[in-house]
Amino acid sequence: MKDSKRYFDPETIKRISRLELRSKYIVEGLLSGMHRSPRFGQSVEFRQHREYSVGDELRHVDWKVWARQDRLYVKQFEDETNLNCQLLVDSSASMNYASGLFSKFEYAATLACCLAYLVLRQKDKVGCVSFNPESSRRVLLGNRKTQLNEIANVLDEVAFCTQTAIAEFLMEQARELDRNGLLVVICDVWTLQDGLERAFKMLRQRGHDVILMPMVDPDEVDFPFKGPTRFEGLELDGELQINPEEIRNEYLALFQQRVNSMRRVCLSNGCDFELIQTSQPFNVVLSKLLNRRLGTQRR
């Protein structure tokens, strides 16, 4: 475990400029830290027992149960399907805020690549979209060897623009995506929420599994500013000169309200919600995410 920590030193990660390398570095470190098989996630997941009926294959009979209870039960397994994972990364200007080593977008891009690498390692398909109202770039679903490189290139060459309407984009995705799959939405916490619930419903109706991962900077969580400060908008034109201490409580309340609102919308529509702080180590975020996903599948 000690050795694995070196994989997650933020400065070390930051020094790896190429996204695909960075993601491999992180994921390999993560997996070695877990002491899990590199074949993690491959099929034959036991689901439940069912009483034997005529016609069932005898190889599925659980002989151990028969030996204990003198009854025939058949073991049933999860059906193995191909996973189609679509990574949707918000590239609005507000994602460009950074108080630490990583801006929100850098963090989001790194995280997206890590996830892509994980999916590709399972031989599943992964695609990526960096979305904003002006210029969205896309990497289609695939599991080619160059898939990770393409995704990294898209995320590297992103052009930031003004505020994003995430709901519209998600609804568009719902209409466009012809295969069910996993949608990982990495967006800004401040992104517009109008119609978000409707978009989630539509995605869920179409059989998509959605994980919403809003990104926040520690500054946005703590609002630690002191003294007279002029705030200039990253997305909106305008400025505000205030003593941050004076409105801190009010701001934090609004922020909390925002996060709670997002979480409620997600959960009420069967979507996963994971608030990501850019100060969190990648391995922690990924572990948490993977553990949650496993738990979700078992439900």
Task: Give the footprint of other proteins on this chain (CB under 8 A).
Answer: 93-97, 104, 188, 190, 217, 220-222, 224-236, 238, 240-252, 254-256, 258-259, 263, 275
3-state secondary structure of 61: strand
Residue 185 CB, shortest distance to other proteins, in Å, is: 16
Residue 271 CB, shortest distance to other proteins, in Å, is: 15
Residue 248 CB, shortest distance to other proteins, in Å, is: 6
For other proteins, the closer CB: 207 or 233: 233
Question: What is the number of other CB atoms lying within 10 angstroms of the CB of residue 264?
Answer: 12
Residue 165 CB, shortest distance to other proteins, in Å, is: 14
Phi and psi at 259, nearest 5°, equal: -65, -45
Contact 160, 95 (CB under 8 A): yes
Give all strands (DSSP E) within 12-83, no chain letters. 46-51, 73-77
Q: For helices 196-205 and 166-176, give the axis angle rounded to 10 degrees.
A: 20
For other proteins, the closer CB: 103 or 147: 103
Residue 281 CB, shortest distance to other proteins, in Å, is: 16
Residue 36 CB, shortest distance to other proteins, in Å, is: 27
For other proteins, the closer CB: 83 or 247: 247
Contact 13, 25 (CB under 8 A): yes
Contact 205, 177 (CB under 8 A): no
Decide: residue 145, CB within 10 A, 0-12 exposed, 13-18 middle, 19+ buried. Answer: exposed
For other proteins, the closer CB: 140 or 240: 240
Q: Which two tokens stand for residue 132?
A: 């904003």
For other proteins, the closer CB: 161 or 252: 252
* Whole-angstrom distance, CA of residue 162 vs CA of residue 192: 11
For other proteins, the closer CB: 11 or 237: 237
* Whole-angstrom distance, CA of residue 44 vs CA of residue 174: 30
